[in-house]
Amino acid sequence: MHPTQIRSSVILLLLCVFAAGQALTAQDRAPVEPATMPAPDQPMAPVVPVIEKLDETRTRIGEVTLDRKTREIRFSTTVNMTEGLLEFIIVHEKGKIHESLLVTTISPTHLNLAFTLLRYPPSHELYPLPNDTGGTSDEFPEIAPEIMAAARITIEVEWQDDGRTRRVPINDWIQHDVKTTAMPLGPWVYGGSFIYDGQYSPETTGDIAAIFIAPSALINFPGKDNRDDTVWIPFAKRVPEVGTNVTVVIAPYKPANLPAKP
Protein backbone atom coordinates (compact mmCIF):
# COMPACT_ATOMS: atom_id res chain seq x y z
CA MET A 1 0.00 0.00 0.00
CA HIS A 2 1.28 3.49 -0.85
CA PRO A 3 2.47 5.52 2.20
CA THR A 4 -0.17 8.19 1.48
CA GLN A 5 -2.92 5.56 1.55
CA ILE A 6 -1.54 4.12 4.78
CA ARG A 7 -1.46 7.57 6.37
CA SER A 8 -5.04 8.28 5.23
CA SER A 9 -6.21 4.95 6.64
CA VAL A 10 -4.55 5.64 9.98
CA ILE A 11 -6.13 9.10 10.15
CA LEU A 12 -9.57 7.69 9.40
CA LEU A 13 -9.09 4.96 12.01
CA LEU A 14 -8.11 7.54 14.62
CA LEU A 15 -11.11 9.64 13.64
CA CYS A 16 -13.43 6.69 14.13
CA VAL A 17 -11.93 5.90 17.53
CA PHE A 18 -12.22 9.52 18.62
CA ALA A 19 -15.74 9.85 17.31
CA ALA A 20 -16.85 6.66 19.03
CA GLY A 21 -15.34 7.62 22.37
CA GLN A 22 -15.67 11.39 22.47
CA ALA A 23 -17.72 13.07 19.77
CA LEU A 24 -21.00 11.17 19.86
CA THR A 25 -23.78 12.90 21.74
CA ALA A 26 -26.57 11.29 23.73
CA GLN A 27 -28.94 11.11 20.78
CA ASP A 28 -26.33 9.19 18.74
CA ARG A 29 -26.62 6.23 21.10
CA ALA A 30 -29.64 3.95 21.35
CA PRO A 31 -31.19 3.37 24.84
CA VAL A 32 -29.99 0.12 26.39
CA GLU A 33 -30.47 -1.98 29.52
CA PRO A 34 -27.88 -1.65 32.31
CA ALA A 35 -26.32 -4.90 31.06
CA THR A 36 -25.76 -3.11 27.71
CA MET A 37 -28.34 -5.25 25.93
CA PRO A 38 -31.21 -3.66 23.97
CA ALA A 39 -34.46 -3.35 25.88
CA PRO A 40 -37.15 -5.74 24.51
CA ASP A 41 -39.40 -2.88 23.41
CA GLN A 42 -36.60 -0.56 22.33
CA PRO A 43 -34.89 -1.83 19.16
CA MET A 44 -31.39 -0.53 18.57
CA ALA A 45 -31.42 2.60 16.43
CA PRO A 46 -29.04 2.60 13.47
CA VAL A 47 -25.86 4.59 14.12
CA VAL A 48 -25.11 7.10 11.37
CA PRO A 49 -21.38 7.12 10.50
CA VAL A 50 -19.70 10.35 11.65
CA ILE A 51 -16.66 10.07 9.36
CA GLU A 52 -16.76 10.02 5.55
CA LYS A 53 -13.83 10.24 3.16
CA LEU A 54 -14.98 12.32 0.18
CA ASP A 55 -11.87 12.09 -2.00
CA GLU A 56 -8.08 12.01 -1.74
CA THR A 57 -7.84 15.25 0.23
CA ARG A 58 -11.29 15.92 1.70
CA THR A 59 -12.96 14.31 4.70
CA ARG A 60 -16.32 15.04 6.29
CA ILE A 61 -16.76 14.82 10.07
CA GLY A 62 -20.47 15.07 10.79
CA GLU A 63 -21.44 18.30 9.02
CA VAL A 64 -17.90 19.71 8.83
CA THR A 65 -15.72 19.22 5.74
CA LEU A 66 -11.93 19.57 5.88
CA ASP A 67 -9.39 19.59 3.09
CA ARG A 68 -5.88 18.38 3.93
CA LYS A 69 -4.39 19.99 0.82
CA THR A 70 -5.73 23.53 1.24
CA ARG A 71 -6.32 23.26 5.03
CA GLU A 72 -9.77 24.72 4.45
CA ILE A 73 -12.70 23.94 6.75
CA ARG A 74 -16.27 24.32 5.49
CA PHE A 75 -19.67 24.08 7.14
CA SER A 76 -23.20 25.37 6.62
CA THR A 77 -24.87 28.21 8.52
CA THR A 78 -27.83 30.53 8.05
CA VAL A 79 -28.12 34.29 8.49
CA ASN A 80 -29.63 34.93 11.90
CA MET A 81 -29.57 38.73 12.30
CA THR A 82 -29.44 41.82 10.13
CA GLU A 83 -29.76 44.33 12.98
CA GLY A 84 -28.97 44.55 16.69
CA LEU A 85 -25.79 44.27 18.75
CA LEU A 86 -23.44 41.37 18.02
CA GLU A 87 -21.23 39.47 20.43
CA PHE A 88 -20.78 36.41 18.20
CA ILE A 89 -20.54 35.72 14.51
CA ILE A 90 -21.35 31.99 14.78
CA VAL A 91 -23.22 30.03 17.44
CA HIS A 92 -25.01 26.71 17.53
CA GLU A 93 -28.74 27.01 16.94
CA LYS A 94 -29.31 26.17 20.62
CA GLY A 95 -26.84 28.82 21.78
CA LYS A 96 -26.95 32.61 22.14
CA ILE A 97 -28.85 33.27 18.94
CA HIS A 98 -30.06 36.68 20.14
CA GLU A 99 -26.55 38.10 19.64
CA SER A 100 -25.04 36.13 16.75
CA LEU A 101 -24.83 36.96 13.06
CA LEU A 102 -24.98 33.31 11.92
CA VAL A 103 -26.37 30.08 13.39
CA THR A 104 -25.38 26.51 12.60
CA THR A 105 -26.24 22.91 13.45
CA ILE A 106 -22.69 21.53 13.42
CA SER A 107 -21.08 19.91 16.44
CA PRO A 108 -18.34 22.16 17.90
CA THR A 109 -16.46 18.97 18.78
CA HIS A 110 -16.35 18.00 15.11
CA LEU A 111 -15.13 21.49 14.18
CA ASN A 112 -12.39 21.35 16.80
CA LEU A 113 -11.35 17.91 15.53
CA ALA A 114 -11.06 19.37 12.01
CA PHE A 115 -8.76 22.12 13.33
CA THR A 116 -6.65 19.51 15.11
CA LEU A 117 -6.32 17.22 12.10
CA LEU A 118 -5.28 20.16 9.91
CA ARG A 119 -2.55 21.05 12.43
CA TYR A 120 -3.89 24.40 13.60
CA PRO A 121 -2.36 24.96 17.05
CA PRO A 122 -4.68 26.67 19.56
CA SER A 123 -3.42 29.98 20.93
CA HIS A 124 -4.75 31.07 24.33
CA GLU A 125 -3.28 34.56 24.01
CA LEU A 126 -6.71 36.19 24.40
CA TYR A 127 -7.74 34.19 27.48
CA PRO A 128 -6.96 36.08 30.74
CA LEU A 129 -5.11 34.13 33.40
CA PRO A 130 -6.97 33.28 36.64
CA ASN A 131 -6.36 35.34 39.76
CA ASP A 132 -5.89 34.16 43.33
CA THR A 133 -9.62 34.28 44.10
CA GLY A 134 -10.74 32.13 41.19
CA GLY A 135 -11.72 34.99 38.88
CA THR A 136 -9.77 36.41 35.96
CA SER A 137 -6.78 38.69 36.14
CA ASP A 138 -5.49 41.40 33.82
CA GLU A 139 -2.62 39.15 32.75
CA PHE A 140 -2.44 36.89 29.73
CA PRO A 141 -0.34 33.83 28.92
CA GLU A 142 2.84 34.23 26.92
CA ILE A 143 2.49 32.41 23.60
CA ALA A 144 5.34 31.65 21.24
CA PRO A 145 5.21 33.86 18.12
CA GLU A 146 5.13 30.84 15.80
CA ILE A 147 2.07 29.45 17.62
CA MET A 148 0.31 32.82 17.45
CA ALA A 149 0.97 33.04 13.73
CA ALA A 150 -0.17 29.47 13.02
CA ALA A 151 -3.39 29.95 15.03
CA ARG A 152 -4.50 32.90 12.90
CA ILE A 153 -7.21 32.16 10.37
CA THR A 154 -9.43 33.86 7.83
CA ILE A 155 -13.19 33.41 7.92
CA GLU A 156 -15.11 33.91 4.69
CA VAL A 157 -18.76 33.49 3.81
CA GLU A 158 -20.05 32.00 0.56
CA TRP A 159 -23.65 32.24 -0.64
CA GLN A 160 -25.86 32.36 -3.72
CA ASP A 161 -26.94 35.80 -4.93
CA ASP A 162 -29.28 35.87 -7.95
CA GLY A 163 -27.88 32.61 -9.27
CA ARG A 164 -24.20 33.39 -8.80
CA THR A 165 -21.85 32.37 -6.03
CA ARG A 166 -20.42 35.20 -3.96
CA ARG A 167 -17.66 34.98 -1.35
CA VAL A 168 -16.36 37.72 0.96
CA PRO A 169 -14.56 37.95 4.31
CA ILE A 170 -16.99 37.75 7.24
CA ASN A 171 -15.51 41.10 8.37
CA ASP A 172 -17.36 42.77 5.48
CA TRP A 173 -20.67 41.83 7.10
CA ILE A 174 -19.84 43.43 10.45
CA GLN A 175 -20.11 47.17 11.10
CA HIS A 176 -18.77 49.39 13.87
CA ASP A 177 -21.81 51.20 15.25
CA VAL A 178 -19.87 54.32 16.22
CA LYS A 179 -17.46 54.63 13.28
CA THR A 180 -20.10 53.23 10.84
CA THR A 181 -17.33 51.41 8.97
CA ALA A 182 -16.85 47.72 8.28
CA MET A 183 -14.70 45.64 10.61
CA PRO A 184 -11.07 45.95 9.44
CA LEU A 185 -9.84 43.03 7.40
CA GLY A 186 -7.55 40.78 9.36
CA PRO A 187 -7.25 37.44 11.09
CA TRP A 188 -9.29 35.66 13.69
CA VAL A 189 -7.66 33.49 16.34
CA TYR A 190 -8.31 29.80 16.89
CA GLY A 191 -8.14 29.27 20.64
CA GLY A 192 -9.76 25.85 20.88
CA SER A 193 -11.82 26.62 24.02
CA PHE A 194 -11.53 24.27 27.03
CA ILE A 195 -12.95 21.34 28.96
CA TYR A 196 -15.08 22.26 31.98
CA ASP A 197 -16.55 19.77 34.43
CA GLY A 198 -15.76 16.94 32.04
CA GLN A 199 -17.50 18.54 29.04
CA TYR A 200 -16.21 20.45 26.03
CA SER A 201 -17.43 23.98 26.73
CA PRO A 202 -18.71 24.90 23.21
CA GLU A 203 -20.95 21.82 23.25
CA THR A 204 -22.78 23.17 26.30
CA THR A 205 -22.68 26.90 25.49
CA GLY A 206 -23.02 26.76 21.70
CA ASP A 207 -20.25 29.38 21.41
CA ILE A 208 -18.27 28.90 18.19
CA ALA A 209 -16.84 32.23 16.96
CA ALA A 210 -16.93 35.42 19.06
CA ILE A 211 -16.31 39.11 18.47
CA PHE A 212 -16.62 40.02 22.15
CA ILE A 213 -13.98 37.83 23.79
CA ALA A 214 -15.41 34.49 24.96
CA PRO A 215 -12.90 31.84 26.11
CA SER A 216 -15.69 29.26 25.68
CA ALA A 217 -15.68 29.89 21.90
CA LEU A 218 -13.33 28.08 19.53
CA ILE A 219 -12.54 31.29 17.65
CA ASN A 220 -12.15 34.89 18.83
CA PHE A 221 -11.60 38.30 17.26
CA PRO A 222 -8.19 39.75 18.21
CA GLY A 223 -8.78 43.29 16.94
CA LYS A 224 -9.65 46.58 18.59
CA ASP A 225 -12.89 46.81 20.60
CA ASN A 226 -13.05 43.05 21.14
CA ARG A 227 -13.84 43.75 24.80
CA ASP A 228 -16.71 46.11 24.04
CA ASP A 229 -20.11 44.46 23.56
CA THR A 230 -21.86 47.69 22.53
CA VAL A 231 -20.25 48.64 19.20
CA TRP A 232 -20.55 45.79 16.69
CA ILE A 233 -23.66 45.33 14.53
CA PRO A 234 -24.49 43.58 11.23
CA PHE A 235 -23.65 45.65 8.15
CA ALA A 236 -27.29 45.78 7.06
CA LYS A 237 -26.58 46.87 3.47
CA ARG A 238 -24.32 43.88 2.90
CA VAL A 239 -25.79 40.99 4.90
CA PRO A 240 -28.35 38.86 3.01
CA GLU A 241 -31.82 38.46 4.46
CA VAL A 242 -32.43 36.34 7.54
CA GLY A 243 -32.62 32.65 6.69
CA THR A 244 -30.17 32.81 3.77
CA ASN A 245 -27.99 29.70 3.56
CA VAL A 246 -24.32 30.58 3.97
CA THR A 247 -21.22 28.38 3.82
CA VAL A 248 -18.46 29.39 6.22
CA VAL A 249 -14.95 28.84 4.84
CA ILE A 250 -12.01 28.86 7.26
CA ALA A 251 -8.43 28.90 5.97
CA PRO A 252 -4.92 29.79 7.15
CA TYR A 253 -4.29 33.52 7.45
CA LYS A 254 -1.71 34.82 4.99
CA PRO A 255 -0.61 38.40 5.71
CA ALA A 256 -0.49 40.52 2.58
CA ASN A 257 3.08 41.58 3.28
CA LEU A 258 4.46 38.05 3.34
CA PRO A 259 6.42 37.08 0.19
CA ALA A 260 5.02 34.23 -1.87
CA LYS A 261 6.77 30.88 -1.57
CA PRO A 262 9.21 30.21 -4.43
Dihedral angle over CA of 208, 221, 161, 242, nearest 10: 60
Residue 163, in any domain of the structure: yes
3-state SS class at 193:
coil
pLDDT of residue 16: 45
pLDDT tops 70 at residue 260: no
Q: What are the tens digits of pLDDT across the range 33-81?
A: 333 344 444 454 554 558 899 999 999 999 999 999 999 999 999 999 9
Strands (E), the chain: 51-53, 58-61, 64-67, 73-79, 88-92, 100-104, 152-161, 164-169, 174-176, 188-190, 195-196, 199-200, 207-210, 219-220, 232-234, 245-252
pLDDT of residue 214: 95
Residue 220, in any domain of the structure: yes
* Predicted confidence band of residue 176 (pLDDT cuts 50, 70, 90): very high
Residue 34, in any domain of the structure: no
Residue 33, in any domain of the structure: no
pLDDT of residue 60: 97
* Burial class of 12 by CB neighbour count within 10 A (0 to 12, 13 to 18, 19+): middle
Give percent of the chain with pLDDT exceeding 90.
72
Residue from 113, 140, 103 nearest 200 by CA? 113
Specify the higher pLDDT residue, 167 or 37. 167
Counting the structural domains of the chain, the total is 1
Give percent of the chain with pLDDT exceeding 70.
79
Residue 195, in any domain of the structure: yes
pLDDT of residue 43: 53
pLDDT of residue 133: 87
Buried b (16+ CB within 10 A) or exposed e, 90-110: bbbeebbeebbbbbbebbbbb
Helix axes 108-117, 3-18, angle to 10 degrees: 150
**In this structure, which amino acid lies at residue 235?**
F
Q: 54 and 23 in contact (C-beta within 8 Å)?
A: no
Residue 13, in any domain of the structure: yes
pLDDT of residue 226: 93
**In this structure, which amino acid lies at residue 12?**
L
Residue 42, in any domain of the structure: no
- Domain extent at residue 150: 3-28+48-252
pLDDT of residue 48: 52
Which range has the worst mean pLDDT, 21-25, 64-68, 193-197?
Answer: 21-25
Residue 262, in any domain of the structure: no
Specify the higher pLDDT residue, 2 or 51. 51
